[in-house]
């Protein structure tokens, strides 16, 4: 009987810890979208990018880097509930759409590395 009681206590402990992890995952920036592009004709390759990082509520940011011969400029735009108050370029909007299309961490069965439950 003592072993059964210990097993029940262990299950309750794991359930409580799992609830905390699931709560914390809601605010993790686990949904990612990346678009590489070439904004200028005078540079080679897709050295510029737009990177969107959002949480399960669609809150986060879009980070853009525009690479040119004269230098690189970096821009950040806040995202709340899946939208940005600042105007987004086509590439930024595409990166955000990619991120929002992915299941939120802890939802939809996505665990990262197959069979391990560890993030990719």
Spell out the domain ranges in the chain.
Answer: 29-101
pLDDT digits (tens, 9 = 90+) for 56-98: 999 999 999 998 888 899 999 999 999 999 999 999 999 999 9
Q: Nearest-CA neighbor of 100 among 35, 51, 33?
A: 33
Report the C-alpha gap between 95 and 82 in whole angstroms: 12
pLDDT at 74: 97
The band of 118, judged by pLDDT with boundaries at 50, 70 and 90, is very low
pLDDT at 66: 93
pLDDT at 70: 83
- The DSSP annotation for the chain comes to -HHHHHHHHHHHHHHHHHHHHHHHHTTS--EEEEEEE---TTS-S--EEEEEEE-TTS-EEEEEEEEETTEEEEEEEEEBTTB-SSPPPHHHHHHHHHHHHSPPTTSTT--SSTTT----
Radius of gyration of the chain (CA): 20
- The sign of the CA dihedral 85, 89, 91, 97 is positive
Report the C-alpha gap between 75 and 96 in whole angstroms: 14
Indicate whether 54 pLDDT > 70. Answer: yes
């Amino acid at each position: 009987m003592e072993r059964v009681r210990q097993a029940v206590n262990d299950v309750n402990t794991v359930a409580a810890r799992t609830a905390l992890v699931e709560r914390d995952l809601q605010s993790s920036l686990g949904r990612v979208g990346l678009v590489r592009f070439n904004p200028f004709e005078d540079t080679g390759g897709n050295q510029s990018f737009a990177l969107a990082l959002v949480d399960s509520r669609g809150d986060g940011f879009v980070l853009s880097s525009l690479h040119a011969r004269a230098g690189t400029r970096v821009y950040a735009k806040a995202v709340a509930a899946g939208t940005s108050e600042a105007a987004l370029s086509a590439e930024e909007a595409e990166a955000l759409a990619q991120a929002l299309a992915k299941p939120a961490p802890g939802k939809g069965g996505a665990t990262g590395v197959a069979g391990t439950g560890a993030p990719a």
